[in-house]
Amino acid sequence: MLKAWFLAAALILAPFAATAAGTDIAFGGFKTDPTLPVQVSADQLSVNQADGTAVFTGNVVVTQGTMTLQAASLQVQYASDQQSIARLLAKGGVKLAAGGEVASSQTADYAPETGALILQGDVVLTQGTSAISGQLLTISLKTGLGTMEGRVTTTFTPAQPKKN
C-alpha cells in the first residue's frame, strides 16, 4: 500500500521535478517561435528616439503567436537597427496566458531574440488544476522549460475518477 502511494505521488509530481536551485517546470503552452511578430496595443504611447525606447501605458496587451501578455505599462527597447525589438519590460498586474497555462507576476522581462522570459514578484502559475508560486520564474520560450525560485509552493488537485 505504501509503495503504491509513493508511486502515485511520484507520477503527480513529475511535471514539477525539484532541483537544488528551484523547481524545473515544463511549459508546453509557453513554448513559442520568437521570430513571430509582436503586436502591442495600449491607451497611450510615448516614444523616445534618442534612446530607442517606447513606453505603452494603460490596458497594455501584447501578443506573439498564441501567447498574450497584459500589464499596466510596457517599455519597449528597440535593437540598434531600430527595426527589431531587443527587450520588452512589463510592469503592474502582469498576466501571461498561452495554451491553457496562465502566469501572473509584478513584472515580466522578455527578450524576443533569445526567447528568455523572466517573471518576478509574487509569481503564480496555473497549469490545468495545478498551481505553483514563487518569487522568480525564468522560462525559455524556445524550449518551453523553466525554473521557479523563491519559496516555491505547489498545489496539486488529484484527478477525480470518472463515474459511469
Q: What pLDDT score does 16 carry?
A: 38
Task: Output the DSSP codes for 67-130.
Answer: EEEEEEEEEEEE-TTSSSEEEEEEEEEEEEEETTEEEEEEEEEEETTTTEEEEEEEEEEEETTE
Name the band, by pLDDT with cuts 50, 70 and 90, for residue 34.
Answer: low
For 112-127, write each residue's pLDDT tens digit.
888 898 999 999 999 8
> What fold does the segment set 16-155 form as a domain?
lipopolysaccharide transport protein A fold (2.60.450)
For 73-107, write each residue's pLDDT tens digit.
999 998 888 778 899 899 999 999 988 889 999 99
Question: Taking the CA of residue 112 as centre, how many other CA atoms within 13 Å lie in the half-sphere pointing to its CB?
Answer: 22
Across the chain, mean pLDDT equals 79
Q: What is the residue whose three cell numbers read 498561452? A: 98
The residue with greater pLDDT, 7 or 26, is 26
Domain boundaries, the chain: 16-155
How would you classify residue 155: left for phi > 0, otherwise alpha for psi between -120 and 50, otherwise beta?
beta
The residue type of 60 is V
Range of weakest confidence among 23-27, 43-47, 104-108: 23-27
